[in-house]
Amino acid sequence: MSASTCELCETAGGEVLHQATQFRVVLVDDNHYPGFCRVIWQDHVKEVTDLPELDRMLLMDVLWQVERVVREVMQPDKINLASFGNVVPHLHWHVIPRYTDDIHFPQPVWGQAQRNADALMLEVRRQRLDGLRLKMRERLETYR
């Protein structure tokens, strides 16, 4: 896959919460996982080790900042971090808030559902999204 056919080169990959020169942080529109974010490297590279050392350090620092905000605002039982790139081989990390009552727990979010969604709890979590947007922008404002 070339940059010209890459979904993450051609689209934002979600609602942009912060855009910097080297990366962007987006909120993924996922009905079952409010607060699901991605950290996406701007340049089309496949692996973390394709980056120079300082860029790797920046990416990891941003990843930890995003995780911290998701934990603070969304109050999950667990955070899942994932960087696959099998389908979209463009460097990006998933930051997924997990709850013991979510439809897949304890399985991965891409696994088989374990239960039906709790509509009331999903709405409670969706109500936290404006706070997540604000806090994420505040936390990342120094990254240009």
pLDDT in tens, 110-124: 999 999 999 999 999
Instruction: Flag whether 144 is in a domain.
Output: no
Q: What is the pLDDT of residue 2?
A: 60
pLDDT band at 4 (very low <50, low <70, confident <90, very high): low
Cβ atoms of residues 44 and 3 within 8 Å = yes
Instruction: Flag whether 143 is in a domain.
Output: no
pLDDT digits (tens, 9 = 90+) for 51-101: 999 999 999 999 999 999 999 999 999 999 999 988 899 999 999 999 999
Structure tokens at 79: 């955070």
Q: How many domains does the chain have?
A: 1
Strand order from edge to edge, sheet including 78-82: 15-19, 23-27, 37-41, 92-98, 78-82
Which residue range is the domain that position 11 belongs to?
3-138
What CATH number does residue 53 fall under? 3.30.428.10
CA 104 vs CA 17, 77, 80: distances in Å: 26, 13, 12
Q: Going by C-beta distance under 8 Å and a sequence separation of 6 or more, which residues neighbour residue 107?
A: 114
Question: Given CA atoms 124, 129, 135, 140 in this order, what sign does their dihedral have?
Answer: positive
User: What does pLDDT average to over the chain?
Assistant: 96
Instruction: Flag whether 54 is in a domain.
Output: yes
Enter the pTM of the model: 0.94
Structure tokens at 63: 């990843």
